[in-house]
Amino acid sequence: MSKRLGEATLADLPDAVVRPRYDRRAVTTGIVHLGVGAFHRAHQAVYVDDVLAQDPHWGIVAASLRSPDTYDALEPQNGLYTLSIRSGEGEALRVIGSIQRVIVAPQAVDDLLGVMADPRTRIVSLTVTEKGYCHDPATGTLNETHPDVVHDLRNPHQPRSAPGFILEALRRRRMAGIAPFTVLTCDNLPSNGRTVKRVLTRFAELFDPAFGRFVADEVSCPSTMVDRIVPATTDEDRQRISETLGLSDAWPVVTEPFTQWVVEDRFPQGRPAWEKSGAQFVADVEPYEHMKLRLLNGSHSTLAYLGYLAGYETVADTMADGAFERLIAGLMNEEVTPTLHMPADADITAYRRALIERFKNPALRHRTWQIAMDGSQKLPQRLLGTVRDRLRENAPIDRLALGVAAWMRYVTGVDERGGVIDVRDPMAARLRETADRAGGSPERLASGLLAMREIFGDDLPGDPRFTGPVGAALARLYAQGAKRTVAEWVEAVRP
């Protein structure tokens, strides 16, 4: 296909394709976003696109902190891309125009810092995944030995990490007498705003105690809860969408109809009117965050590890197996929900019901392997927090333990048929070494992995109420495989 999506070709789009309803030439930058991945482009960038017709001062400059791939795809398209919303009823296409340009941070450090330090930038948002915060997932504190932290402390004017870029931009603004921007994290961290504030404050203290006090006192970091399922874009997606457009789109994003954004309303320099596009502003986001992290993300990770081991490629494939659906429904209803404390107007039953339907959406090819990535960073937020709350009540954790055990089996790097698992994780080398030392023994594997305090902390490895169920579940997975384990387990607990 010779023609490419871009400003010059918007008029060529079919009438059914929604396009920006504002003059992009009038848009100015108000937001810098770090971590321009598929989720940002299917979520926050869409909420921004919704408000630009009424207020054009919130355009996005997006930055990739590592790879130039997104820049290479979007720069020739003037930042435009297609959002595909898929369900069993079909596909709706919309071109999003809120991203003005993309910066590849390692290639343009001063450019990115300059935009972040510009007084017109009032929000710096992030989707850099759990590992991008250079923190200890078990404690939520800065990992002061992280290679990027060590580098940025020595080279503050040439940062590599997201916290390093934020702090150097804040330092420049402070020196110039410019008020600090709001730091808006949209990643799955517990109390994500407070976690980021803690990480940034400690990082700043290591530069200079006075700078640390400034960050602690003056920089707003509201917590958020974000919810939308966004699978990785496939070549099949690109071809199908480009054929519908009649134009080539190098990197569309595919998502589901459901979207949710709950935000603490603490923006000293102002914010877009996101409530007009469906965002919910609250005084305390933590109950909603727990609901999403534990019900959606915890279930997703459990499905990913067990489903992958059972040979299922996608979440929908896994949920088509009735035993897995019953397992996840039981996990949500019986082990997760009792740990939640929601506002009176929150309908947890409806949320759980919607999650089951979302997981079963056959139009979303959300690969179990994709969700399984970075498990060492995800487990503390998605499963282990719930485990701790259950243990405090002396309540059973059998389904949670099975999810943890499935992760342990997965990170050995060898599947149930002897094939290689491509384990993508910041701790992949240590995980594999631990698995190799275990020599195929589930007991030694569990013992070695539980010794990783960065994941399990100091409490869980010494608690037999946790280690016992996890060890038993892991032994069953080794002995009879994931599919049979799940089938027999749900049959045994069938009412």
Q: Is residue 423 part of a domain?
A: yes
Question: Which one of 248, 265, 282 terminates a domain?
Answer: 282
- 90-96 vs 81-87, strand pairing mode: antiparallel
Of the chain, the percentage scoring pLDDT greater than 70 comes to 99
The answer to whether the predicted template modeling score (pTM) of the entire model surpasses 0.75 is yes
**Cα–Cα–Cα angle for 128, 371, 62, nearest 5°?**
25
| pLDDT band per the 50, 70, 90 thresholds, residue 189 | confident
Mean pLDDT (the chain) is 96
Average pLDDT over residues 133-137: 92
Q: Rounded to a whole number, what is the largest CA-CA distance in the chain?
A: 66
pLDDT digits (tens, 9 = 90+) for 282-306: 999 999 999 999 999 999 999 999 9
Q: Give residue 190's pLDDT.
A: 83
Residue 204, in any domain of the structure: yes
Q: Is the residue at 2 inside a domain? A: no
Residues 158 and 38 in one domain: yes
Q: Are residues 249 and 305 in the same domain?
A: no
**What local confidence, expressed as pLDDT, does residue 494 receive?**
63
State how far the Cα of 313 lies from the Cα of 196, in Å rounded to an integer: 34
Question: Residue 116 gets which letter from DSSP?
Answer: H
**pLDDT tens digits, 438-476:** 999 999 999 999 999 999 999 999 999 999 999 999 999
Do 204 and 323 lie in a common domain? no
Residue 176 has pLDDT above 80, yes or no: yes
More confident residue, 492 or 416: 416
* Long-range contacts of the stretch 20-24 (C-beta < 8 A, 24+): 20/49, 20/52, 20/95, 20/96, 20/97, 21/53, 22/52, 22/53, 22/56, 22/97, 23/56, 24/78, 24/97, 24/100
| Angle at 35 (CA atoms; ends 33, 38), nearest 5 degrees | 105
**pLDDT over 80 (residue 422):** yes
Q: Confirm if 425 and 413 have CB atoms less than 8 A apart.
A: no
CATH assignment of the domain containing 240: 3.40.50.720
User: Is 383 in the same domain as 276?
Assistant: no
**Domain finish residue from 218, 247, 282:** 282
Predicted local distance difference test score (pLDDT) of residue 472: 97
**Domain carrying residue 40:** 7-282
Instruction: Say if residue 371 is in the same domain as residue 226.
Output: no
Determine which of 65-74, 135-144, 413-422 has the lowest per-residue pLDDT on average.
Answer: 135-144
Q: What is the pLDDT of residue 138?
A: 85
Please report the pLDDT score of residue 1 as a whole number: 60
Instruction: Report if residue 267 sits inside a domain.
Output: yes
Residue at 353 is within a domain: yes
* Residue 372 pLDDT exceeds 70: yes
One domain for residues 226 and 306: no
Whether 212 and 316 share a structural domain: no
Q: What is the mean pLDDT of residues 368-387?
A: 96
What's the pLDDT score for residue 220?
Answer: 98
pLDDT per residue as tens digits for the range 92-101:
999 999 999 9
Residue 420 counted as domain residue: yes
Whether residue 125 sits in one domain with residue 29: yes
State how many domains the chain has.
2
Residue 336: predicted pLDDT = 98
Among 255, 282, 309, where does a domain finish?
282
One domain for residues 426 and 303: yes
One domain, residues 244 and 360? no
